[in-house]
């Protein structure tokens, strides 16, 4: 369980760093680019992928994933900045419903009544968690970010699942290729802002990006180690990770950043945990 705990801490720390970026005037785009450089270097150290497998031509899905990751990272940062850690983390974790729906409509998987109940409760939880009486157009528009986080992470999860089934290339090598593509995409976007918008590259953004990359990679590394350590109980890892991030993220957002959470939002958080638990139990029953 120590790996699950470390993965949860790394995941929430990424959200905290993105939240603090605005306070200390960190350029998120630059930090995101250096974040992927750190991920590439750490992949070499921990995964030790074969050079030959990395040099192969990436598939269409790999390229799409490599583009989506840095773009969604920027959306995630905007969501944390505009509506806070609590609601952004929940939107990210509830994105698991998209791959579940994909399993039903794309892969033809049969759903139990418990899983259907979990989906219904989950969608209600999304509405209640993000609900807030809005006083202006800008605030209403800001709620587009968690919606994009919800959809984006769900699509990325589906792509990751499809890539994991490809046996020609080890999954760790595929992940390394994805990081390389993401780094290039982020660099292209950054070069555009430097040339067109005359933005300056600052050393502080490099330092923050490396720190961000370490925690981002740590989240992936410890999550994989948790699955290996509890190979016979994948549902345990899945449930503990998602519920842990929601609980810890909510506590950090409310206590550390004084984020406003209404009674309706608290009901939504509770329902989000219930939804993840229902879906996890339905998965465990299906495995048996």
pLDDT at 233 over 70: no
Neighbours of 250 (CB within 10 A): 25
What was the pLDDT predicted at 175? Answer: 84
Spatial distance between the Cα atoms of 186 and 278, rounded to a whole number of angstroms:
38
pLDDT, tens digit (0-9, with 9 covering 90-100), for 193-208 = 999 988 898 999 999 9
What pTM, to 2 d.p., does this model score? 0.83
pLDDT, tens digit (0-9, with 9 covering 90-100), for 263-282 = 998 998 898 888 888 877 77
What was the pLDDT predicted at 107? Answer: 61
The whole-chain average pLDDT of the chain stands at 84
- Alpha-helical regions (H) of the chain: 2-23, 28-47, 51-54, 60-83, 85-93, 97-105, 113-130, 137-142, 144-164, 171-195, 203-229, 234-256, 263-287
Q: What is the mean pLDDT of residues 83-111?
A: 78
pLDDT at 139 over 60: no
Q: What angle do CA 176, 180, 182 make, to 5 degrees?
A: 115
What domain count does the chain have? 1
pLDDT at 137 over 50: no
Domain that holds residue 45: 2-287
Pick the residue with more confidence: 252 or 272? 252
Helix axes 60-83, 171-195, angle to 10 degrees: 60
What was the pLDDT predicted at 285? Answer: 67
Pick the residue with more confidence: 119 or 188? 188
Burial class of 59 by CB neighbour count within 10 A (0 to 12, 13 to 18, 19+)? middle
**CB 96, CB 125: distance < 8 Å:** no
For residue 256, what pLDDT band results from cuts at 50, 70 and 90?
very high
**CB 17, CB 215: distance < 8 Å:** yes
pLDDT at 124 over 70: yes
Between the alpha carbon of residue 94 and those of residues 161, 165, 212, the distances in Å are 17, 23, 23
């Amino acid at each position: 369980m120590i790996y699950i705990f470390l993965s949860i801490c790394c995941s929430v720390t990424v959200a905290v760093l993105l939240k603090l970026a605005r306070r200390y005037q960190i350029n998120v785009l630059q930090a995101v680019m250096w974040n992927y450089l750190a991920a590439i270097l750490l992949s070499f150290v921990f995964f030790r992928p074969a050079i030959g497998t990395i040099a192969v031509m990436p598939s269409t899905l790999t390229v799409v994933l490599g583009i989506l990751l840095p773009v969604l990272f920027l959306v995630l940062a905007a969501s944390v900045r505009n509506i806070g850690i609590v609601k952004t983390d929940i939107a990210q974790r509830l994105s698991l419903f998209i791959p579940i729906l994909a399993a039903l409509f794309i892969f033809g998987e049969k759903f139990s009544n418990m899983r259907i109940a979990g989906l219904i409760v989950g969608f209600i939880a999304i509405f209640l968690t993000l609900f807030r009486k809005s006083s202006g157009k800008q605030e209403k528009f800001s709620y587009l970010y968690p919606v994009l986080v919800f959809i984006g992470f769900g699509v990325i999860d589906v792509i990751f699942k499809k890539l994991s089934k490809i046996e020609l290339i080890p999954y760790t090598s595929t992940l390394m290729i994805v990081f390389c593509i993401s780094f290039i995409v982020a660099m292209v976007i950054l070069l555009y802002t430097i040339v067109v918008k005359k933005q300056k590259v600052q050393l502080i953004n490099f330092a923050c990006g490396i720190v961000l990359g370490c925690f981002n990679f740590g989240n992936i590394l410890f999550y994989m180690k948790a699955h290996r350590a509890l190979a016979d109980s994948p549902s345990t890892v899945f449930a503990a990770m998602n519920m842990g991030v929601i609980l810890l993220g909510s506590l950090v957002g409310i206590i550390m950043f004084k984020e406003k959470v209404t009674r309706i939002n608290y009901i939504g958080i509770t329902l989000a945990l219930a939804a993840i638990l229902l879906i996890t139990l339905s998965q465990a029953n299906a495995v048996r």
